[in-house]
Chains A and B, each alone.
Chain A
């Protein structure tokens, strides 16, 4: 037996268990969603039948889907830049030798180890009209009472805040590690050149953080489409679909309305969105990132 043949045999034998499960629970369901999206949902006494692109036409004409889609874009636009900016700020602060930095680091990171579902329960109380903590604070300043989660104008912003709070500290630690990996010589050289603190950050630290930013960005984008735990707890997509995101809508269609074919078509749309994001990030951004 040649080495190559032997390696192939051992290689695939080692890979087989993991590959089987990957195919069964990632590749197959992705493909099955695509196939099923061309059929109707089976009902008692009415088996599934081929309906062509009917499910996709339904998506195009579905106002709830479009609302979920635009909500999701707003949710992404709200969480991604703010949590990344906060993460950088936190990392820069905790990286300096300031009093209380251990406390600050623990405080920033704590939300990461808490279950989102538990956290959402706490925030729910925060936002409760009448006697919630936020109301007590705004009330102390004489501001009128407001139902943050109950009104369509503020509900999405409220769940976005929770997502930012959960994520920023997680991203911080990657920036912290990257900042500590920057050689101190660079700071000395920059200061000899008379660069200001801001110039040093913008011209030296920030560009060197780009690989970290790309990594964090990918995580943040995936999370923007994936993180719906707090929505299930806090608003259940309401009021009036104001906080329905794409994955939450899939969950609702699939497991509340039991319209699995339509849920499959929605899944395909979400997969296409994620694929597009992957293409943009790996194909285009990756080439522009400066690597050490």
Chain B
């Protein structure tokens, strides 16, 4: 994201800088308005929620009430375990598969690759009915592995790592072989270290996707022990007892806080990771 060295002849000048900046800022304000509003509501007493008096007293009461009203600590733990489990399994499985596609010309490779790419279009979210059936046969309904399994073999991850592995010179591979390294040792010693930035990028994308994922966890879980944050939040805020708004906003902020804070601190890395993961 570094600024271009020379000034582009089409860069805005004079009054146009002001007009463009104004446009960009109005849109930016519009874009974070919902979030700002949630922050406002979460830190104020209910009666001040819709009265935008700047002097209204700040309070953490809403957070305390939200935390006590639902087992958010457990939900945080579940999400953390879920995201870690998915990430570790994805790294291992996708690395192995990507290495196979990048460096071995085996019988059936083209067909296998086409079968992998099919998942880019047919994401697990679409196959909820049959996957639920499979999970109940495996006895994995309402477990964290049950949420994770359909996402572990990720076509996106395999594709991304394959593209990266292909750019690594074959000579390095051959050199390692000459030294007597096995295929797995070569992968571990040569390929994985060289692809580190891609792992970081893919990791960030994967963590934010699964932290935020909702539909499949909603279907497959039905107890506090397995439910991730998103599902917990939905059950909390759609409660019949009529939870009040400021408390819902507090819970909403609480559940998104780790990602949001991570993003604000490392926004450059975040944005670059998403770009790196998206462009092949």
* A interface residues with partner B (beta carbon < 8 Å): 4, 7-12, 14-15, 17-30, 32-33, 36, 89-90, 93-94, 96-101, 103-119, 121-123, 125-126, 131, 133, 136, 165, 169-170, 173-174, 176-178, 180, 184, 187-188, 190-191, 197, 200, 212, 215, 222, 225-226, 228-229, 232-233, 247, 250-251, 254-255, 260, 263-264, 267, 270-271, 274-275, 277-278
Contact = CB atoms under 8 A, between A and B. Distances in A.
Contacts of B214: 115-117, 229, 232
A278 to B, nearest CB: 5
25 contacts: A10-B106, A11-B109, A19-B97, A19-B115, A23-B115, A25-B134, A26-B150, A27-B115, A29-B134, A96-B12, A108-B28, A109-B271, A113-B256, A115-B229, A117-B230, A122-B37, A176-B1, A191-B10, A197-B10, A226-B125, A232-B218, A233-B238, A247-B126, A251-B215, A267-B127
Contacts of B188: none
A133 to B, nearest CB: 6
A30 B23 CA distance: 46
Contacts of B132: 254-255
A232 B125 CA distance: 14
Nearest to A264: B129
Contacts of B21: 98-100
A260 B219 CA distance: 14
B24 A98 contact: yes
Interface of B: 1, 3-4, 6-12, 17, 20-21, 23-25, 27-29, 31-32, 34-35, 37-38, 41, 50, 92-94, 96-97, 99-101, 104-109, 112, 115-116, 118-119, 121-134, 149-150, 152-153, 155, 158, 183, 208, 211-212, 214-215, 218-219, 229-230, 233-234, 237-238, 245, 248-249, 252-253, 255-256, 259-260, 262-264, 267, 270-271, 274-275, 278-279
A267 B119 contact: no
A283 to B, nearest CB: 13
Contact of B94 (A8, A18, A36, A178): A18
A90 B31 CA distance: 11
Contact of B35 (A8, A24, A93, A114): A114
Contacts of B107: 4, 8
B97 A26 contact: no
Given A26-B122, A97-B11, A229-B214, A267 B130 contact: yes
Contacts, number: 294
A256 B1 CA distance: 48
A114 B17 CA distance: 31
A184 B8 contact: yes
Contact of A104 (B24, B155, B158): B24
Contact of A33 (B127, B212, B259): B127
Contacts of B264: 106
A123 B211 CA distance: 20
Chain B interface mostly helix, strand, loop or mixed?
helix
Given A20-B153, A93-B27, 8 more contacts: A21-B152, A22-B153, A109-B271, A113-B208, A197-B10, A222-B121, A250-B129, A254-B132
A222 B107 CA distance: 32
A131 B245 CA distance: 11
Contacts of A176: 1, 271, 275
A251 B219 contact: yes
Given A94-B24, A118-B233, A232-B234, A110 B278 contact: no
B79 to A, nearest CB: 10
Given A22-B155, A36-B130, A117-B230, A232 B93 contact: no
B124 A14 contact: no
B129 A260 contact: yes
Contacts of B3: 97
Contact of B37 (A17, A21, A126, A190): A126
A226 B97 contact: no
Closest 9 CB pairs of A and B: A11-B106, A29-B130, A191-B9, A107-B28, A21-B153, A115-B212, A11-B104, A14-B100, A18-B97
A254 B149 contact: no
Contacts of B116: 18-19, 22
Greatest chain A CB density within 10 A among B29, B150, B153 is at B153
